[in-house]
Amino acid sequence: MDRTQVNRPLLTGISGIDLIYPIGKGQRQLIIGDKRTGKTQIALDTIVNQGKLEEKMICIYIAVGKTKKEIKQIYNEFLKRNCLSYTTMVVATNDDKPPVISLIPYVGLSIAEEYLKEGKDVLVVIDDLKKHADAYREISLISNKAPGREAYPADIFYLHSRLLEKGCQHKNGGSITILPIVETKGGDITDYISTNIISITDGQIVLSEKQFSKGNKPAIDYGISVSRLGGAVQTEKIKKLGASIRRQLLSYLETKEVYELANTDEMSQVLRDKMNKGRDIERNLNQPKFSPKTTEEMIDVFEKFS
């Protein structure tokens, strides 16, 4: 009863997300993909972008079972970009015991809830929930709980749902936006933990190793990514532009699969123009890390394609 509709945008500064698969304040948007495809980088870019906006969100980065080296690198990036004035890091390293690793996301969300009660907007990144599930599985097997699918206990869905359900737009004006990260193997987003979390969240940004190896960064797989709120959290202008860009991009990606090896000279002029336009859109969606764009910059770049 204390929750209201999610209708305010959370700007990540990444064109492929803000235009095509937008995130709202109070939304839970999953970031999923294989190892080393840039999942954490999307979350870090989003946190860095909050420092460039007039209304800074409070950010909480929860590291679940990461190495000390990785945590040190992330801390140094935050330090270099002056993010620590509005960012809290809640950390459990891979050296910590499984009970510590399994409880650390709840600690981070408890901090977020305190800020929510004060009417503040909070962004929470959980990196990552696969390691969290593995730590909980270890505890469950040692405590003789009956193992279920993939040896996970039967209450693994409840474990994650009670955590992610804390994300909301509160009627007091505050919000908790959660970006959980899940690592997959071989691009399989249909495994047990992934499907559980996809069913709890309000959409997913899927990162593809194929896109990453082609040099398309962020390596978003635009065909299977989705935001269940979409245009509800965008301004009218961005909504109209984003819908047009998304339609053209998906049409181009579909055509590209069929005509990838075809000779360009044998194509009709209409098809050639479509392929060239699609290639330009795809190229403009590429963005170096830690270089967020403002909404105005995105409109300037993509307006010519609509």
What angle in degrees, to the nearest 10, is found between the helix axes of 192-200 and 129-142? Answer: 120
Q: Phi and psi at residue 198, in whole multiples of 5°?
A: -60, -40
Token pair 């929510």: residue: 116
Token pair 């009218």: residue: 236
Query: For residues 240 and 294, what is the distance between their CA atoms, to the nearest angstrom?
Result: 17
Is residue 91 within a helix (H) or strand (E), and if so which, with residue range?
A: strand 87-93
Instruction: List beta partners, residue 9.
Output: 24
CB-based burial, 199-238: b 16+ in 10 Å, e otherwise: ebbbbbbbbbbebbeeebbbbbbbeebbbebbebbbeeeb
123 Cβ contact partners less than 8 Å away, ≥ 6 residues apart: 10, 46, 47, 50, 57, 58, 59, 60, 177, 179
Q: One of 8, 228, 246, 272 is an active-site residue; which one?
A: 228
Query: For residues 50 and 296, what is the distance between their CA atoms, to the nearest angstrom?
Result: 16
Contact 197, 33 (CB under 8 A): no
Q: Is 228 a catalytic residue?
A: yes
159 Cβ contact partners less than 8 Å away, ≥ 6 residues apart: 133, 136
Query: For residues 72 and 29, what is the distance between their CA atoms, to the nearest angstrom?
Result: 26
Catalytic residues: 228
